[in-house]
Amino acid sequence: MQKKKSSIGWRNENKHPSLSEVFSSVSVPKQKGIWKKLFAFTGPGLLIAVGYMDPGNWATDIAGGSQFGYMLLSVIFISNFFAIILQHLALKLGIVCERDLAQACRDHYPPLISFILWILCEISIAACDLAEIIGSVLALKLLFGIPITWGVLITAIDILIILFFQYKGFRYIESVVAALIFTILVCFSFEIISSKPEIVPILKGIIPNPEIIKNSHSFYISIGILGATVMPHNLYLHSSIIQTRDYPRTTEGKKMAIKYATIDSTLSLSLAFFINAAILIISAATFHKAGYTEVADIMYAHKLLNPILGSSLSGVFFALALLASGQNSTLTGTLAGQIVMEGFINIKFKPWIRRLITRLIAIVPAIIVSIVYGEKGTTKLLIISQIILSIQLSFAIVPLVNFTGNSEKMGHFVNGPILKISAWVITIIIILLNIFLLYNTFLGRR
C-alpha cells in the first residue's frame, strides 16, 4: 500500500532538522523591540551576499566596465533585483516548511530525481569552490608573489580555520563573514574615491539602455553578468541557515521571521549590489576612460590600476579585496556542501571530512591547470566554473518557485498572484539567457 502524503503536501513528515547542530541555536528576543529582533535575524543575509560578490563575478564586471563604461550598471541592478526575489522565496521555504531546498526536493521528487539533482548540485558547489580557490590564489600571488601552484596548496589550509569557527558557534561564522565583507567594502570604497568616477554617467548607467540589446557584444557580457550573479547553492544555503534562528514555530512566529529575514536579506544583497557595481565603476573610470577597452583578466586589471591611478595602494587594496572575497565564499561553500549532502541523501559527515572532499574535487584540476598553463589557464578555469554554475541554476530555481507557489505545501504562506507571476517570469528569463550564454560559449560566438 502506497504511503499517504502528509497534510502539508510532503512525502516525509518525520524529518531531521537542517544543520541539526545549529538548528534554533540563535535566540530571538520575545519582546516587541524592532531593532533587537532585526539584529537577531541579521547574519544569514550576509552569508548569502557573499555568493554575489565572489571572484567569479569579478571578470564579467571588469570586462563590462572596461568595454562599455557605466552602461551595464543597469544589468547589475536588474540581476540584484532577481536575486532579492529568489532569496526571499528560499528563506520563506525554510521558515514555513522547516525544510531546506534539498530536503524539500527529497520529500517531493522520486529518489532517482533527487539523486540526479544532488549530483548536479555537488558539481556546482565544486565549481564554485574552484572559483574561490582561483580568486584566493591570484590574490596571494598579487600580495606576496607566491607562485600559482603553491598558492593552490596553501588554500587547502583554510579547512582548519573554517573548522575552528564552526565549532565556536554559528554567530562566530556570521561575524567572520561580516568582517571580510567590511574589508571588501573598505577596499572598494578606497578604489572608487581614487578613480574619481563621474556621477551623472553613473546615474544614467542605472537606467536600462536599449543599446545593451542592440550591441551583440554588450548583450553577451550582460548575460554573463546575470548568469554569474544568482548562485544556485545560495538558494539551498539560505533555506537552511535561516532555521538557525529560535523563532516561535507558529503562524505568527513564522510571519515575524519572514519579515525580519527578508529585511536582512534585502539589505545584505543591496550591499552586494554596491560592491559589484563598484567593480564595474572602477573599471569604467580607469580602464575605459584611459582607452583600455579589452580588460577582462583579473591579473591584467591589477597590473593597470597602479599606473593609471598613480597609487601603489590601489593594487594592494584590489588584491586584499580579492583575497577576502575568496575566503568568504569558502566559508559559505562549505556550509552549502554539508546542507545538500544531508538534505538530498541524508548522509552526515563530520565537517572536516565534508570540507576535504569538496576541496579535493576542486583542487586537483586547479593544480593541473596551474602547472601546465599558469595564470592564463587559471583565468580560463574561472570562466568554466561560471558556465557550470549557469547550467545548474535552473535545477535549483524551478523547484524553489514551484514549492513556494504550491498552496498544499505552503498553506497561508503560498506566493500571492503577483509574486508567483514575477517569480516564474524571472525563472524563464534566467533560464533563456543562460541557454543563450551556453550556446554562444560552446560555439565560440559573441
Q: Which of 205, 266, 214, 342 is nearest to 80 (CA)?
A: 266
Cell of 174: 556570521
Task: Quote the CA–CA distance of 132 and 159 in Å, as a whole number.
Answer: 13
pLDDT, residue 238, reads: 94
CATH classification of the domain holding 369:
1.20.1740.10
Residue 1 resides in a domain: no
Neighbours of 405 (CB within 10 A): 19
Opening angle at CA 81, ends 444 and 54, nearest 5? 60
pLDDT, one tens digit per residue, over 84-123 is: 999 999 999 999 999 999 999 999 999 999 999 998 888 8
Task: Quote the CA–CA distance of 357 and 301 in Å, as a whole number.
Answer: 33
DSSP one-letter code for 411: G
Give the dihedral of Cα atoms 406, 412, 418, 421; nearest 10 deg: 0
Residue 4 has pLDDT above 60, yes or no: no
Q: Is 384 helix (H, G, I), strand (E, B) or coil?
A: helix
Domain count, the chain: 1
Q: Which residues contact 284 (CB under 8 A, 6 or more apart)?
A: 65, 66, 68, 69, 70, 197, 201
Q: Is 27 helix (H, G, I), strand (E, B) or coil?
A: strand
Work out the mean pLDDT of the chain and round it to a whole number: 82
Residue 7 has pLDDT above 50, yes or no: no
pLDDT, residue 311, reads: 67
pLDDT, residue 386, reads: 64
Name the percent of the chain lying above pLDDT 70: 81
Residue 6 resides in a domain: no
Give the dihedral of Cα atoms 383, 388, 392, 397; nearest 10 deg: 0
Domain that holds residue 203: 26-284+315-443
Cell of 379: 583565468
Task: Quote the CA–CA distance of 50 and 185 in Å, as a whole number.
Answer: 12
Question: Per mean pLDDT, which range of 193-207, 290-304, 337-351, 424-438 is the poorest?
Answer: 290-304
Residue 230 has pLDDT above 60, yes or no: yes
Helix 73-97, helix 417-443: angle, nearest 10: 120
Residue 54 has pLDDT above 80, yes or no: no
Residue 326 resides in a domain: yes
Residue 302 resides in a domain: no
More confident residue, 444 or 130: 130
Residues linked to residue 26 through DSSP beta bridges, in sequence order? 245
Q: Which residues contact 404 (CB under 8 A, 6 or more apart)?
A: 89, 92, 93, 410, 414, 415, 423
pLDDT, one tens digit per residue, over 384-430 is: 666 677 677 888 999 999 999 999 999 999 999 999 999 999 999 88
More confident residue, 359 or 145: 145
Q: Which residues contact 215 (CB under 8 A, 6 or more apart)?
A: 68
Residue 380 has pLDDT above 60, yes or no: yes
Residue 347 resides in a domain: yes
Residue 304 resides in a domain: no
CA distances to 32, 314, 380 from 320, in Å: 41, 10, 22
Gyration radius from the chain CA atoms: 21
pLDDT, one tens digit per residue, over 162-216 is: 666 666 777 888 888 888 888 888 888 888 888 889 899 999 999 988 888 888 7
pLDDT, residue 166, reads: 63
pLDDT, one tens digit per residue, over 150-163 is: 877 777 676 666 66
Residue 59 resides in a domain: yes
Question: Per mean pLDDT, which range of 83-92, 111-120, 340-349, 375-384 is the poorest?
Answer: 375-384
Cell of 72: 551595464
Amino acid identity at 96: V
Residue 33 resides in a domain: yes
Task: Quote the CA–CA distance of 90 and 403 in Å, as a whole number.
Answer: 10
